[in-house]
Structure 1
């Protein structure tokens, strides 16, 4: 099944690149007119005028790359003064701006002296929080890089022996009470993904139960909010994680294999997770319907992979 592994890695790369593109494009299809809102909203705890004023000041910041940190701080302090729809726009504009600068900001951590300082600090405390890193690192230039990254809303992560910046969706949670329901749900989903990434070094690094749970959450978002500005991005992530639910990853198999690298029997821990998900889940989930059918096809063939199962999964998932 080596060919499958190659396709798996390629598909995930394409999906992740597409997800990044979709997120960066983000809110460009939506717009907010302060003058129109002022005419439509006159009686509210948050007045249309105050909401519009905050929106305009914020937009003057967020449109300038050099003002990202200032824009984020302004939004944290003033989002409570804004109505739900413009608050949603502002929050997604922040996400777009952070993603647009992520690569360049992360590159500041790549010089060998910065990597060495981060590695030394991490080995001492096994903690990449800014509080810990800044307490251990004394070099003023490196401290300045970390402070800038913190203020822009990124967090430090590590993988494959490197230290880099990543999105910090936990930092978006203060916005949840003020944005629309779909974006509040989106923030929760993305925070779960970034607080404990599901994949590292081509391996699934969370439990199978958790992987299925997260995939169900993505599926539910797409069904619940079909017109959300972030539905396209979430659907891309859903397709990628659905693939992993049924095929695993290069370093995390779902099936035992024979000497020819062909699938044979489902790993017991995966079967246990499949069965638990079906038992606890709802009947209207396409993911659970697929899991249930996979189990049925396996049971009809003495628990072994079959051509029929192969054909079925290829119809459900792009391989």
Structure 2
């Protein structure tokens, strides 16, 4: 085949046009990719800046005791916008504030006039919201609302009414915190809904004692460096002591006969049968305790007492 000069010129021109078009297309594609990357980076920066702003505002609210109720409400409405670490810190800082101001709030409730009104007003199962709805006393309504909105709930013991931290309320924000604080909220929620003791007597069943002790032990093992490991470990030590001694008004051993409580022993045996002493120090100690009990005919002897004191650190 023979090429003419004009044909060669035409072919070259077409090739040049094709190359220019290709370069333009490549440039356009590259520009789109860069723009998308920049847009994603800008969006991420904006999201981070917003999360920081939410977190910082929460911290500023917590600096003022008078804004504690506002801080509770703000956290519940905005915690979804921050990182799990920031959400965890918001929860823990709020808990610290609630603990710090609890005595001041209880001083208001411990006034004779307030206690007298509560005795007439409060029925079993009532919470602060129920009390708000039951009274026409504006000052009393304001007191109850202020306590509730600041993160407290009402409880009673030995004929006195007082406030405690409303840990079940933290369940509202549980999804936005780290794994250890999720578990901590669950542990403290159980303690708040059904405290283990009332009037120096055990107010939960022996099976529940072993269940909670195992949950607390698991927390300490899973999260040795958590911000709340020390608190949970302290709680666990109380449960370990209860498991081998009971409480003053619910003793593990009868004060007269020195015999072990049958229901308590059965609960300990059930926990040991289901547990693994190679993985749980609590189960291992219970197993040893039951062994020494059996050896001593289920009676509190000096040998049994020595074991439980050594095992529980009494």
**Residue in structure 2 matching 1:253, options 251, 254, 264:** 251
Distance 1:174 1:44 in 2: 26
Q: Structure 1 residues 42 and 179, CA, compared in 2 at 3 Å: closer, same or farther?
A: farther
Contact in 1 for aligned 2:129/2:148 (Cα 8 Å): no
* Residue 269, structure 1, aligned to residue 263, structure 2: yes
Q: Structure 1 residues 45 and 173, CA, compared in 2 at 3 Å: closer, same or farther?
A: farther
Q: Structure 1 residues 178 and 146, CA, compared in 2 at 3 Å: closer, same or farther?
A: same
Aligned residue pairs: how many?
273
TM-score (norm 2): 0.83
Distance 2:310 2:295 in 1: 19
Distance 2:295 2:163 in 1: 48
Q: Structure 1 residues 204 and 48, CA, compared in 2 at 3 Å: closer, same or farther?
A: same
**Residue in structure 2 matching 1:167, options 140, 148, 165:** 165
Distance 2:61 2:139 in 1: 25
Distance 2:81 2:45 in 1: 9
Residue equivalent to 2:199: 201
> 1:232, CA displacement in angstroms?
0.8
Contact in 1 for aligned 2:253/2:299 (Cα 8 Å): no
Deviations 1:198-228 (A, max 9, x none): 1011111110001111111111111110000
Q: Structure 1 residues 45 and 185, CA, compared in 2 at 3 Å: closer, same or farther?
A: farther
Structure 2 counterpart SS, 1:94: helix
Distance 1:183 1:163 in 2: 29
Q: Which has the larger radius of gyration?
A: 2
Contact in 1 for aligned 2:127/2:153 (Cα 8 Å): yes
Residue equivalent to 1:152: 150
4+ long deviations beyond 6 Å: none
Q: What are the ranges of 5 or more consecutive residues in structure 1 without an aligned counterpart?
A: 1-40
Residue equivalent to 2:283: 288
TM-score (norm 1): 0.81
**Residue in structure 2 matching 1:305, options 293, 300, 307:** 300
Structure 2 counterpart SS, 1:291: helix
Q: Structure 1 residues 304 and 84, CA, compared in 2 at 3 Å: closer, same or farther?
A: same
Q: What are the ranges of 5 or more consecutive residues in structure 2 without an aligned counterpart?
A: 1-40
Structure 2 counterpart SS, 1:265: coil
Two-structure CA RMSD over aligned residues (Å):
1.8
Deviations 1:140-188 (A, max 9, x none): 1111100100110100111111111111100111111111000010000
Residue equivalent to 1:18: none
